[in-house]
Amino acid sequence: MPGLMNDQEVAARVLAHVRDGTTDRSDEVWREPVANYRSPDRLHRELETVLRKTPTAFCPSAALPENGSYVARVAAGTPLLVVRGDDGRVRAFRNACRHRGTPLADGSGCSSVFVCPYHGWSYRLDGSLKSIPHADGFPGLDMKAHGLVPVRADEQLGLVFVTQDAASTPVGEKSVAPWNGMPDLVAPGQELLTARSGEVDVNWKVYLEGFLEGYHIRPAHPKTFYPYGYDNLNVIERCGRNARITFPFRRIEKLADLPPAERRVDGLLTYVYHLFPNVLVTVLSHHTNIVILEPLAVDRTRMVMYTLANRGSGTSAEDAKRDAAFVNDTGGAEDLALVLSIQRSIGSGANDVFTFGEFEALIAHFHRNMRDALGELG
């Protein structure tokens, strides 16, 4: 699988677009049926066939900083518990006691053992059943057969990926690893600043699409992003089912007089990585956001967001927090308002399809891969 361009190659392409008044584009127009955003059956198949069978980023490694650290939440409709064990290895389990199915943890924290709040069954960090109160009431119960049910976990790129319904071929093998060709997205030592989540009344794909094109920057962000950036100037790249779009800032033009090998893009552009199907990693000047979109219904999504401070370039935690407030609370609020407005009109009957043009190639890339994963392509 071919990898992505390096920073110098990206800078060269951006500067060529600035010089020529051009942008990256595809040679196709994609038409996605509006019914695919509104059908409960389609959503059910997306969850069952794609989100639960695809290695999906669950959290950054930084959310599990020490042995015993855990994150527990619902992913693709399934309660999961992800924990760093005593051996430093990350493991994932279905978050349900093997007695009566009670969840063992919620949110995040650190623990040496997980104890069911209902009847007190306890489990070690490796998922094995440790003890049962009044065990004599369960004669013949096989302790080894009643550990937590594991889910595949892989720690790559500074992220923890989970695969709920893992295929027989090991995900980590080079031939099938979906992260092949992608750079490390979160470096060791990046400080985790915030972790938050919330629910919004919008289809998860409508929300996702707003990250994958820069065609909207000037009309949607006239006083926030556009004064620092360009009108419809982006670099787009595909890496298997994943992708990256580059949003350059106007100040990148100062690199034009430097030899290509000396060009450094820190603070001069934003990289947005799409990790198929439902995760986005945005690398900005001072901070990195990990955005996970969890479908709840055809018209409701839970957004889980982790914000980390970037390393180097004199970045401080305060720089990162100020940067994040501008991006997430100002420009991000503008994007959210627009996708919510799309959701309100999606059933109006005005459109049978949504038409994505040549500037929206990564949206077409996403939908083509969704159809392929669902077996809808001939």
Tell me: do 324 and 217 sit in the same domain: yes
The residue among 140 and 166 whose pLDDT is bigger is 140
Quote the CA–CA distance of 54 and 49 in Å, as a whole number: 8
Examine residue 243 and state whether it is found in any structural domain, yes or no.
yes
- Is the domain of 232 the same as that of 105? no
Compute CA 267 distance to the chain's CA centroid, rounded to the nearest angstrom.
22
The residue out of 109, 129, 163 marking a domain boundary is: 163
226/279 same-domain check: yes
- The CA distance from 118 to 59, in Å, is 28
Lookup: tokens for 11: 């800078």
Helix locations, the chain, DSSP H: 7-20, 35-38, 40-45, 204-209, 217-220, 317-326, 332-345, 361-373
pLDDT one-digit tens code per residue, 318-350: 888 888 888 887 888 999 999 999 999 999 999
We report the CATH number of the domain holding residue 65 as 2.102.10.10
Per the domain annotation, does 173 fall within a domain?
no
> Which amino acid, 188?
P
76 in a domain, yes or no? yes
CB of 312 closer than 8 Å to CB of 266: yes
Find where tokens 């926030």 sit. 224
Do residue 213 and residue 359 come from a single domain? yes
| 194 and 336 fall within a common domain | yes
Specify whether 142 is located in the same domain as 193: no
Is residue 361 in some structural domain? yes
d(CA 35, CA 346): 9
Note whether 32 and 68 are same-domain residues.
no
Q: Is residue 175 part of a domain?
A: no
Of 263, 102, 283, nearest to 187 by C-alpha is 283
Residues 6+ away with beta carbon under 8 Å from 169: 175, 176
Domain count, the chain: 2
Nearest residue to 277 (alpha-carbon basis) of 372, 344, 343, 357: 372
Nearest alpha carbon to residue 81 among 96, 66, 100, 62: 96
- Write out the residue range of the structural domain in which residue 268 sits: 7-52+187-373
The Cα angle at residue 332 between residues 292 and 369, in degrees rounded to 5: 40
Nearest to 210 by CA among 356, 368, 28: 356
Rounded to whole angstroms, the Cα distance separating 225 from 334 reads 10
**Are 220 and 364 members of one domain?**
yes
Distance of CA 335 to the CA centre of its chain: 17
Asked if residue 234 is part of any domain, the answer here is yes
Q: Tens digits of per-residue pLDDT, 228-238?
A: 999 999 999 99
What is the structure's pLDDT at 274? 98
Distance CA 67, CA 57 (A): 20
Same-domain pairing of 107 and 216: no
pLDDT of residue 247 exceeding 70, the answer is: yes
Q: Which residue type occupies 149?
A: V
Q: For the chain, how many helices (H) and strands (E)?
A: 8, 19
CATH of the domain at 342: 3.90.380.10
36 plus 63 within the same structural domain: no
- Domain membership of residue 35 (yes or no) is yes
Q: Taking CA 33 as the corner, what is the angle to CA 28 and CA 34, rounded to the nearest 5 degrees?
A: 130
In a domain, 358, yes or no: yes
What's 213's DSSP letter?
Answer: -
pLDDT (0 to 100) of residue 168: 46
- So what's the pLDDT on residue 357? 98
What pLDDT score does 330 carry?
85
> Are 137 and 229 found together in one domain?
no
Same domain, 41 and 100: no
Render pLDDT for 254-268 as a digit per residue (tens, 0 to 9): 999 999 999 999 999
